[in-house]
Amino acid sequence: MRNILLTIEYDGTNFCGWQRQPDKRSVQGEIEKALSIVCGAPVSINGTSRTDAGVHALGQRANFRGEFGIPTDRIGIAVNNILAGGLNSIGSVGDVQIVKVEEKKEDFHARFDAKGKKYVYKILNSQEKDIFGRNYYYQINKPLDVEAMKDAAKYIIGTHDFKCFQAAGGEEKATTVRTIFDLKIFNQLADNRKQEIELQIKGDGFLYNMVRIITGTLVDVGLGKRTPLSVKAAIDSKDRQKSGHTAPPQGLYLYEVYYDLEELNKF
- Predicted confidence (pLDDT) at residue 201 exceeds the cutoff of 60: yes
pLDDT at position 90, please? 63
- pTM, 2 dp: 0.94
Residues 74-93 pLDDT 10s:
999 999 999 998 766 566 78
- Predicted confidence (pLDDT) at residue 177 exceeds the cutoff of 70: yes
Contact call for residues 142 and 220 (beta carbons, < 8 A): no
Contact call for residues 39 and 2 (beta carbons, < 8 A): no
Strands 56-66 and 46-47: antiparallel
Cα-Cα-Cα-Cα dihedral sign, residues 121, 165, 249, 217: negative
Residue numbers in the known binding site are 119
Residue ranges of domains in the chain, CATH in brackets: 2-104 (3.30.70.580), 116-260 (3.30.70.660)
Confidence of residue 173 (pLDDT cuts 50, 70, 90): confident
Q: Which of 11, 23, 52, 220 is catalytic?
A: 52
Crossing angle of helices 146-153 and 210-222, in 10° steps, is 130
Q: Cα separation of 186 and 200, whole Å? A: 8
Q: What is the secondary structure of the chain as a DSSP string?
A: -EEEEEEEEE-GGGSSBSS--TTS--HHHHHHHHHHHHHTS----EES--PBTT-EEEEEEEEEEE---S-HHHHHHHHHHHHTTS--STT---SEEEEEEEEE-TT--TTTT--EEEEEEEEEEESS--GGGTTTSEEE-S---HHHHHHHHTTTSEEEE-GGG--TTS---S--EEEEEEEEEEEEEEETTEEEEEEEEEES---TTHHHHHHHHHHHHHTTSS-HHHHHHHHHHT-GGGS-----GGGEEEEEEE--HHHHH--
HSE, CB side, 13 Å, CA atoms: give it for residue 220: 20
Q: Cα separation of 225 and 222, whole Å? A: 8
Contact call for residues 123 and 138 (beta carbons, < 8 A): yes
Residue numbers in the known binding site for substrate are 119
Residues 210-261 pLDDT 10s:
999 999 999 999 999 999 999 999 999 999 999 999 999 999 999 999 998 8
Residues 23-74 pLDDT 10s:
999 999 999 999 999 999 999 999 999 999 999 999 999 999 999 999 999 9
73 an active-site residue? no
